[in-house]
A and B are shown apart, each in its own frame.
Chain A
Amino acid sequence: MTAILPNNQAGVSRALDLLSAENTRLVSIFGSTDDNHVRYVHYLIEVDGREYRMLSSPVTGPIPSATPIVPAAAWYERELHDQYGIECEGHPDPRPLLFHENWPENVHPMIDDASHVPWAKGQYHFLRVHGDGVCEVPVGPIHAGIIEPGHFRFSVVGDTVLHLELRHFYTHKGTEKLFENSAVMDGVMIAESVSGDNCFSHAVAYCQAIENVFAIPVPPRAQAIRLVGLELERMLAHIADVGALCGDVGFMVPAAYTARIKETLLQASARFFGTRFWRGISVPGGVTRDLSGAEAGEFGRIVTTAARDFAQMARLILHTSSVQNRFESTGILTAEIAKQLAVVGPAARASGIRLDVRRDHPSGRYRDVQVDVPQYKHGDVLARARIRIDETAISTQLINETLKELPAGSVLVPVPLSGSADALSAVESPRGELLYWVRIRDGKITRCHIKSPSFQNWPALPLAMPGNIIADFPLINKSFNLSYSGCDR
Chain B
Amino acid sequence: MIGDAVERSLRSPQVLISVDELFSNAAGSRMPDVRPDLLTDEVARRVVAACPTSALKIDEDAGRTHLILNYGECTGCGRCIAAGGGTFRYAEKVTRCGVSKQALIRSWDIQGRAEVVQDEPALSQAAEQIRALVGRALNIRQVDAGSCNGCEAEIVALTNPYYDLERFGIHFVASPKHADMLLVTGPVTRNMAAALKNAYDAVPSPKLVVAVGACGCSGGIFGRSHAVVGPVDAVIPVDGYIPGCPPTPRMLLTGIVQVLRPFSLRW
The judgment on whether A and B are partners is yes
Residue of A nearest to B160 (CB): A259
Q: Are B148 and A196 in contact (CB under 8 A)?
A: yes
Within 8 Å by CB of A270, from B2, B28, B146, B175, lies B28
A171 and B5 in contact (CB under 8 A), knowing A189-B52, A263-B157, A275-B28? no
Residue of A nearest to B152 (CB): A146
Within 8 Å by CB of A174, from B6, B145, B228, lies B228
- Hey, what's the 0/1 contact readout for B169-199 against A, CB within 8 Å counting as 1? 0001011100000000011011111110001
Q: In the docked arrangement, what's the CA distance between A186 and B49, Å?
A: 13
Binding site for A on B (CB under 8 A): 1-2, 4-6, 8-9, 12, 15, 27-28, 30, 52, 75-78, 82, 90, 142-157, 159-162, 172, 174-176, 186-187, 189-195, 199, 215, 220-222, 224-228, 245-246, 248
Q: Are B195 and A256 in contact (CB under 8 A)?
A: no
A173 and B228 in contact (CB under 8 A), knowing A146-B156, A275-B28? yes
Residue of A nearest to B228 (CB): A173
A256 and B226 in contact (CB under 8 A), knowing A178-B221, A277-B150? no
A177: shortest Cβ distance to chain B, in Å? 7
A276 and B248 in contact (CB under 8 A), knowing A178-B222, A195-B148, A316-B4? yes
- CB neighbours of B221 from chain A (8 A): 178, 189-190, 193
- Hey, what's the 0/1 contact readout for A305-329 against B, CB within 8 Å counting as 1? 0000000110010011110000000
- Taking each of A103, A146, A194, A484, which has the highest tally of chain B beta carbons within 10 Å of its own beta carbon? A146
Q: Are A147 and B90 in contact (CB under 8 A)?
A: no
- Hey, what's the 0/1 contact readout for A152-188 against B, CB within 8 Å counting as 1? 0000000000000000011111110110000001100
- How many A-B residue contacts, CB cutoff 8 Å? 195
Q: Are A174 and B147 in contact (CB under 8 A)?
A: no
- Hey, what's the 0/1 contact readout for A258-299 against B, CB within 8 Å counting as 1? 011011001101110011110110000000100000000000
A410: shortest Cβ distance to chain B, in Å? 15
- CB neighbours of B27 from chain A (8 A): 270-271
Q: Are A280 and B76 in contact (CB under 8 A)?
A: yes
B3: shortest Cβ distance to chain A, in Å? 10
Q: Are A257 and B147 in contact (CB under 8 A)?
A: no
- CB neighbours of A270 from chain B (8 A): 27-28, 248
Does A348 have its Cβ within 8 Å of any Cβ on chain B? no
A385: shortest Cβ distance to chain B, in Å? 15
- Total interface residues on A, CB under 8 Å, equals 68
Q: Are A178 and B189 in contact (CB under 8 A)?
A: no
A253 and B153 in contact (CB under 8 A), knowing A149-B195, A174-B228, A280-B30? no
Binding site for B on A (CB under 8 A): 98-100, 102-103, 109, 114-115, 117, 141-142, 144-149, 169-175, 177-178, 185-186, 189-190, 193-197, 199, 251, 253-254, 256-257, 259-260, 262-263, 266-267, 269-271, 274-277, 279-280, 288, 312-313, 316, 319-322, 483-486
- CB neighbours of B152 from chain A (8 A): 146-148, 196-197
Residue of A nearest to B155 (CB): A146
Closest 6 CB pairs of A and B: A196-B150, A270-B28, A114-B226, A174-B227, A144-B174, A259-B160
Q: In the docked arrangement, what's the CA distance between A237 and B156, Å?
A: 13
Q: Are A141 and B195 in contact (CB under 8 A)?
A: yes
A208: shortest Cβ distance to chain B, in Å? 19
Q: Are A260 and B28 in contact (CB under 8 A)?
A: no
- CB neighbours of B246 from chain A (8 A): 196, 277
Residue of A nearest to B154 (CB): A276
- CB neighbours of A169 from chain B (8 A): 191
Residue of A nearest to B174 (CB): A144
Q: In the docked arrangement, what's the CA distance between A266 and B195, Å?
A: 32
- CB neighbours of B151 from chain A (8 A): 196
Q: Are A260 and B2 in contact (CB under 8 A)?
A: no
- CB neighbours of B161 from chain A (8 A): 256, 259-260, 263
- CB neighbours of B228 from chain A (8 A): 173-174
Q: Are A319 and B153 in contact (CB under 8 A)?
A: no
A145 and B174 in contact (CB under 8 A), knowing A196-B152, A260-B162? yes
